[in-house]
Amino acid sequence: MMKQMLVVLLTVAVGAASVLAGPTQAIQEHGKAMLRDAEEMVMHGGMGDGGAILHHCAEVTKHATAILGVLPKGDQHGQAAAPFLQEAITHCKRVADMGDKVDPGASLNPATKARAAAREAMKHLSAMKDSGA
C-alpha cells in the first residue's frame, strides 16, 4: 500500500514538473521556429520569391500567436516580448494583404520589419529562459 502511494505521489510530482516546464519549452521551440522562418522569409524575398515570403510570413504569424497564447502573465521578459510578437504579426498581415502576386520587393519591406520584431522578441524570450522562469 505504501509503495503504491509513493508511486502515485512520484507520478503526480513528475507530471507537475513537466507541466511547469511545458510553456517555457514550448515558447523556446516556437521562438526558434519563428526566427528560422523569419530569416528564410527575408532570404527568399531577396531572391524575388513572393510565394515563399508569403508562406514564411504565415509561419512567423503562427509561431508568434502560439507564443502569445502560452506566455506567463507574471513574467516580465515574456510581457516585454509581447509587443514585438504583435508587431511581427502586424507586419506579416501586411504581407498577407499584398498577396504573392505583388512585386517581392514591395513585400520585402514589411517582411524585414517582421523579422526585426521577431528577433527583438526572442531577445526577451531568451532572457525569460535564462532567468529560470
Do 78 and 95 contact (CB within 8 A), yes or no?
no
Let me know if residue 117 belongs to a domain. yes
What is the dihedral sign for C-alpha 127, 66, 31, 108?
negative
Q: Is the pLDDT of residue 91 over 70?
A: yes
Let me know if residue 3 belongs to a domain. no
Q: Which of 1-10, 39-48, 108-117 has the lowest mean pLDDT?
A: 1-10
Q: How many CA atoms lie within 13 A of 63 on its CB side?
A: 26
Q: What is the CATH number of the domain that holds 65?
A: 1.20.120.660
The overall pTM is greater than 0.85: no
Do 37 and 59 contact (CB within 8 A), yes or no?
yes
Let me know if residue 12 belongs to a domain. no
Q: What digits encode the pLDDT tens for the residues 16-41? A: 333 444 688 999 999 999 999 999 99
> Alpha-carbon distance 121 to 108, whole Å?
20
Let me know if residue 91 belongs to a domain. yes
Residue span of the structural domain in which 91 resides: 25-130
| Domain total in the chain | 1
Let me know if residue 7 belongs to a domain. no
**Helix (H/G/I), strand (E/B), else coil: 54:** helix
Let me know if residue 13 belongs to a domain. no
Other CB atoms within a 10 A radius of the CB of residue 48 amount to: 12
Let me know if residue 8 belongs to a domain. no
Taking CA atoms, 102 is separated from 45, 55, 86, 87, 105, in Å, by 12, 14, 24, 22, 8
